[in-house]
Amino acid sequence: KGPDPDLVAIGERMKSIKHKILVLSGKGGVGKSTVAAQLSFALAAMDKQVGLLDIDICGPSVPKMLGLEGQEIHQSNLGWSPVYVEDNLGVMSIGFMLPDPDEAVIWRGPRKNGLIKQFLKDVYWGDLDYLVIDAPPGTSDEHISIAQYLKATNVDGAIIVTTPQEIAIIDVRKEVNFCKKVGLPILGVVENMSGLQQPLASFEFKMVADDGEEKNVTKEVLEQLQTRCPDLLSVFACTEVFYAGGGGAQKMAKDMGVPFLGCIPLDPQLSKAAEDGRSCFIDSQCKSSASALQRIIKKV
């Protein structure tokens, strides 16, 4: 029996793509698509030629996150053409194929696998520096196929996104073991929504002394910190929104021998950028999440 012609075709198609990064998560709703979308925006802003492929077939959120709702894909003799946000940022998603965004995709495994295969084989990206792939959450039948298809290419590996709670991290352990079993390299784990950060300067805390004198504590704390650390640019108050009794993603990554790429705070402005289909890197309000994402990208 000769080599699988589909795998050969995927390998051929991916030859013109330098780096392929898969974004995975154990659960839905942890920010996988947000990380995939913002990573693509960031790479494109670094003048890289970028493709973002959304194969989260049952919940394609990439069109909205890239500001491309209602767009359609076209076919040329070279294959399916992505929809372009910028000249150097192309996007492909099943969301572009659904006549109604509220329509549920109720497909059985083989049909989903067929479409994923077609996306990998038939989209004409041209020469790319990076292809970022937003995968479905979990470790389903589709993941076995995705891993098998991507092994036909020299895939760089997977970024696994989680939130801090033990309940999410249990599923990430499964995801890590899955990758190890199917031979998919792990680029690292990202902890998203880890703490709500707000600039301390935006708070006004009052402290009342015994003699009734009222003091503005924040200002004093900031002044003390600035005297001690003159290089300090900003100070944040951080609220742990989720209970992370198990020690969080960093400890889990260490225990399982995979790299930890960093934390992204819970940032209402990042959520707004995602809702509006914008890059958080050009939004001065998104400073804390954008700089966290930049630090993560440097490690990938």
Task: Give me the least distance between CB of 161 and ligand ADP, in Å please.
Answer: 6
Nearer to ligand ADP, 187 or 193 (CB): 193
189 lines the binding site for ligand ADP (CB under 6 A): no
- Segment 83 to 112, residues that bind ligand ADP, using CB under 6 A: none
- Return the amino acid letter for 196: L
28 lines the binding site for ligand ADP (CB under 6 A): yes
128 lines the binding site for ligand ADP (CB under 6 A): no
Q: Which of 40, 61, 93, 113 binds ligand ADP (CB under 6 A)?
A: 61
193 lines the binding site for ligand ADP (CB under 6 A): yes
Q: Identify the sign of the CA torsion 60, 153, 298, 193.
A: positive
| Residue reference for tokens 């077609």 | 118
Number of residues that bind ligand ADP (CB under 6 A): 18
- Return the amino acid letter for 229: C
Task: Give me the least distance between CB of 231 and ligand ADP, in Å please.
Answer: 26
Q: What does each C-alpha distance from 32 to 56, 103, 154 come to in angstroms?
A: 10, 21, 22
Q: Which of 24, 34, 176, 286 binds ligand ADP (CB under 6 A)?
A: 34
| Pairing mode, strands 206-208 and 214-216 | antiparallel
If one counts every other C-beta atom within 10 angstroms of the C-beta of residue 32, the result is: 27
Nearer to ligand ADP, 24 or 150 (CB): 24
Task: Give me the least distance between CB of 6 and ligand ADP, in Å please.
Answer: 27
- Segment 147 to 186, residues that bind ligand ADP, using CB under 6 A: none
Of 143, 152, 142, the C-alpha closest to 177 is 143
**Residues 39/132, Cβ–Cβ less than 8 Å:** yes
Angle of the 166-182 helix axis to the 248-256 helix axis, nearest 10: 30
Site residues (vs ligand ADP, CB under 6 A): 25, 28-34, 61, 192-193, 264, 266-267, 270-271, 274, 289
